[in-house]
Amino acid sequence: MNLFRNVVFIAAIAGLVAGVVLACMQAYATDPLILQAEVYEKASGGHHHDHAVTPVDTSAMSTASPVPVEVATHAEDEGWAPADGLERFAFNVLANIVSGIGFALILVAVSEFAGGIGNWRQGIFWGLAGFAVFTLAPGLGLPPKLPAMPDSDLFQRQIWWISTVAATAIGLGLLAFRKSLPLAILGVALIVAPHVVGAPQPASFETRIPEGLHHQFVVASTLTRLVFWLVLGAAVAVVRGRFTGAARSLRDSFA
């Protein structure tokens, strides 16, 4: 399992670096917009406003228990959450690092199939591919959303997201690594298909969130992820270069 160990090692370092960079960019660019949106969310009275409690439910519950309905449903819906401020920020950094390593594992493993990321410029292009697969493609159908914005069924959106990412990845792979016209056409078809099917959309787009705020969030979210992928690709190249360099000087003893 030496190769596996090497891949995990490279992904851990590159993912940590890119994750920390992304967390810093989010603290500056996207988190303030989320906090702003939460002001509107609290004004509209709850997290899951699209699954709002029906009037029948409220009357039934208020006669049955002395606990205010709002608090009861809130606790039931939300469970534990990090406290605002430092704790919330710390968990955000943690999530960034953990999933940064996850994305790095995918990137390193897939790029090794194609011979590996040899230098930082190749890393940039692998990063662009990751951006196209994980940000651009799913973002066309399901753009970044702020809290308190209406949305369709979560499970259906997750299915569409995963299918779109998979189809786009396979499509890009066919375009880049198969020198055959029919396969290239199939690749384009795979990239287009999820958008012909269409992402699940909410019944109504009505929201209290100002359009300007949402637009700002879409731009910030997309650009921070672009930088994340470029940093990740370049970081993988740098760490991998050190690694293979070391392996060479140590007569392949690492591998």
Partner 1 sequence: MNTASVSLGASVSSQSRLMQLALAALLGIFVVGFVGFSHIDAVHNAAHDYRHSMAFPCH
Interface positions with partner 1 (CB under 8 A): 1-4, 6-8, 10-11, 26, 30-31, 34, 47-48, 77-82, 88, 91-92, 94-96, 98-99, 101-110, 112-113, 115-116, 118, 135, 138-139, 142-147, 151, 154, 157-158, 161-162, 221, 224-225, 240, 243-244, 247-248, 252, 255
**Closest by CA position to 106, among listed 245, 2, 229:** 229
Q: How far is the CB of 184 from partner 1 (least distance, A)?
A: 24
Q: How far is the CB of 182 from partner 1 (least distance, A)?
A: 25
Q: In terms of CB distance, is 66 or 79 closer to partner 1?
A: 79
Q: How far is the CB of 193 from partner 1 (least distance, A)?
A: 19
Q: In terms of CB distance, is 69 or 74 closer to partner 1?
A: 74
Q: How far is the CB of 23 from partner 1 (least distance, A)?
A: 8
Amino acid sitting at position 205? F
Q: How far is the CB of 31 from partner 1 (least distance, A)?
A: 6
The long-range contacts involving 215-221, CB below 8 angstroms and separated by at least 24 positions, are: 216/33, 217/30, 217/33, 217/34, 217/37, 217/144, 217/146, 218/143, 218/144, 220/29, 220/30, 220/33, 221/30, 221/144
Which tokens go with 192? Answer: 């287009």
Q: In terms of CB distance, is 129 or 145 closer to partner 1?
A: 145
- The 10 Å Cβ neighbour count of residue 49 is 16
| CB-CB contact of 174 with 190 (8 Å) | yes
Q: In terms of CB distance, is 34 or 124 closer to partner 1?
A: 34
Q: How far is the CB of 233 from partner 1 (least distance, A)?
A: 15
Tokens 């392996």 — which residue? 247
- Using CA atoms, how far apart are residues 227 and 216, in angstroms rounded to an integer? 17
Which tokens go with 248? Answer: 């060479």
The vertex-105 CA angle with 102 and 111, nearest 5°, equals: 140
Q: In terms of CB distance, is 184 or 244 closer to partner 1?
A: 244
Q: In terms of CB distance, is 107 or 190 closer to partner 1?
A: 107
